[in-house]
Amino acid sequence: MSSSLIERLGEVRDFRTTDGRRHPLWVVLLIVIMGTMSGYLGYRALGDFAQRHREDLIEALKIPKGRVPSYSTIRRVMMGIDFDNFAKVFQSWASEYIQISPGEWLSIDGKSIRGTVSNSNTKYQNFICVVSVFTHDQGLVLTQNQFENKHGSEISTVQALIKTLHLEQAVLSLDSLHCQKKTCDLIINSGNHYAIAGKNNQPKLYQQIQVNTQSAVPLTTHTSIEKKHGRLTKRRISVFDDLTGITNQWIGLKTLIKVERTGQRGRQPYVMVAYYISSLVADAEIFAQGIRGHWGIENRLHWSKDVVFKEDRPSIKAAHAPANMSIIRSIVINLLRSNGFSSVTIAQRLISNNIPTLLALLQ
C-alpha cells in the first residue's frame, strides 16, 4: 500500500535543534504546500495563509500550543532543509503516486532559476538549475535534482538521476546536450530506452546520421499537417535502421529518426530538419508523438513554475530554499493534475483557501 504525502513528509530530516522546534517539520511543509496550492507565493504570503486559516489548521492538523508557523519559521525551514534528503523523499512518494507503464515516454530537462543569479555583472554567472523527469502524457514530475552551474553540470546531474530511476521499458527523451555515450549506456543498463536529439556537439555521429538518412530507405514514415496561428506546417518523420559508419560505443542504438518541417512564416517558406538517435524500434507515428511530447516539459512544467508560481522571482534565493521550493511546486503540480485539473490557475480559483478540500487532495 502506498504512503500518503502527509506520511512521507514525516520522513524529511529535521535540521533544527530540539529547542528550536515549535512545530513539527511535516506541519510546516504541509502548510507551505497548501498555501502554494492556494496561490500564496513568497514567505510573507505563506505566513499570511497560515494566520488566515489559523483555527482550521490547528484543528485539522492537531497543532500543539495553538500556534501556526510564522513567515520567519517558514523561511528558516525552507532555507535549512537538506535538498538531497527532501528530493529523495519526494521521489519515494512520486514513484508510488505515479503509475508508469512500459513504453511510456518521460522527458528529462533542466531549468535555471533566474532569481538565484549571483555575479550578474560578470561573464560567468552562478545560478541554480533544477533537472526534472517529467511524464509526457500525465504531465507529472517523477523526480528532480539540482546543481549550481559553477560547481556542476546538467550532463552529470542527468546521469546521476538516471541511476535512481526504477522504471521498466520506459522511453527517456532528452535534448542534444545529452547526446553522450555514457548517458545512452546508463539508460540501457537501467532497463529503459532513449530518444535523444543529435546535433553538432557530436560531429562524427551527426554527419553520419545525415549521410545514412539521406541515402537509405526508411523503415516507416509518418506525415502530419497542422494549421495554427494562421500558419501551415507539414511534418514528416522517417525512421531508419542503417547504422553504417556509427561506432558501437553508442550502446543500444537501433534507429535514426529524421524530422522534416516545412511551412511558411508570413510569406517566407522554410524547411527545418532535425535528427534523433534511439534504442527503440517503433512506428514513425510513435516517434512523432514522443518527439513533440518531449517539449511538454517546457510549457506544462517550466512555464507553470515561471508564470504561475513565479519561480524566477528573486525573493526566495537564499541557501537551499530555491531548490526546496521547486520540489514544493512539483508536488502541487502532481496533486492538481492527478486530481483532474489540467490548469493550475483554474484549480487555484476553485480550491484556494478551502482547507478541507486541500487536505483531501493531500491524502
What is the pLDDT averaged over residues 141-169?
92
Q: What is the CATH number of domain 88-302?
A: 3.90.350.10
Instruction: Examine the pLDDT at 170 and tell me if it is beyond 60.
Output: yes
Reported as a pLDDT band with limits 50, 70 and 90, residue 1 is very low
pLDDT over threshold 70, residue 158: yes
The rounded mean pLDDT for the chain is 91
Tell me what percent of the residues of the chain surpass a pLDDT of 70. 93
Determine which of 95-99, 116-120, 161-165, 332-336 has the lowest per-residue pLDDT on average. 116-120
Which ranges in the chain are annotated with CATH 3.90.350.10? 88-302
Question: What pLDDT score does 118 carry?
Answer: 64
pTM value is 0.92
Which residue pairs from 333-342 have beta carbons closer than 8 angstroms and sit at least 24 positions apart in sequence? 333/139, 333/140, 333/141, 333/301, 333/304, 334/94, 334/97, 334/98, 334/140, 334/141, 335/5, 335/33, 335/37, 335/361, 335/362, 336/37, 336/361, 337/138, 337/139, 337/140, 338/97, 338/98, 338/138, 338/140
pLDDT tens for 266-303 read: 778 889 999 999 999 999 999 999 999 999 999 999 99
Lowest mean pLDDT among 142-146, 150-154, 288-292: 150-154
